[in-house]
Amino acid sequence: MTHDVKWREATKKDTRYMRTFTCTSAPAERGTVGVEYQVQVFFRQYAIALTNRAKDQGLDGRLMIAEDERGIAAAYAHRLLAPQEYPAELEVPSQCAVRDLCFLAISKRYRAPAGALFGETGRPGAMADEAVNEALWDIKDRAVNAPRIYVTGLVDYRNTASMRMLARNHFHEISRGCPPPTGDNRLGRWMRILR
């Protein structure tokens, strides 16, 4: 670990606390900042309720936060997909699991002014890499009996920082543009297979 953070599962008691999570500056209509603002809105307003709803539906939703001395440093959410939700481009063998890494964000204080991520060591993306690796370990722990785990996620093509982070961590873009109900041509599906 490169950062002095503690990871824990967020609970309903954290609803108000999540509203303090800041992963970007003010909303903007252009480029990555607008996309990052949408992610920030998700964590602030919807993450706990949607994760709990997934749990209620038996989909094993999970919302994790990293905290340092100043508050929330990073957060991610993932959930088990039901077979009818598997992306059309995936052929998943039986007994394997598919988990969607729904959202992952790093606190604004761990970001360089231009939006490039940095860590205590000065290496771009250090905190993002730590967060995605923590998410992958958590995902692996949630599916101990599965011979393979397909980890997928959607990324807006304007979010270059996220695409670089996924590529550094052995994810590959497997499709561009999403069919309905998402239907957004700006989204690409990324995947990594664990085990």
Please provide the average confidence, as pLDDT, over all residues in the chain. Answer: 86
Q: What is the CA radius of gyration of the chain?
A: 16
Cα separation, 77 vs 47, in Å, equals 8
Q: pTM of this prediction?
A: 0.87
DSSP string, 83-138: GGGS-TT----TT-EEEEEEEEEE-GGGB-TTS-B--TT--TTHHHHHHHHHHHHH
Residue 121, pLDDT score:
47
Whether 32 has a pLDDT exceeding 80, the answer reads: no
pLDDT-based confidence at residue 1 (cuts at 50, 70, 90): very low
pLDDT digits (tens, 9 = 90+) for 93-144: 999 999 999 999 999 988 765 545 554 445 667 899 999 999 999 999 999 9
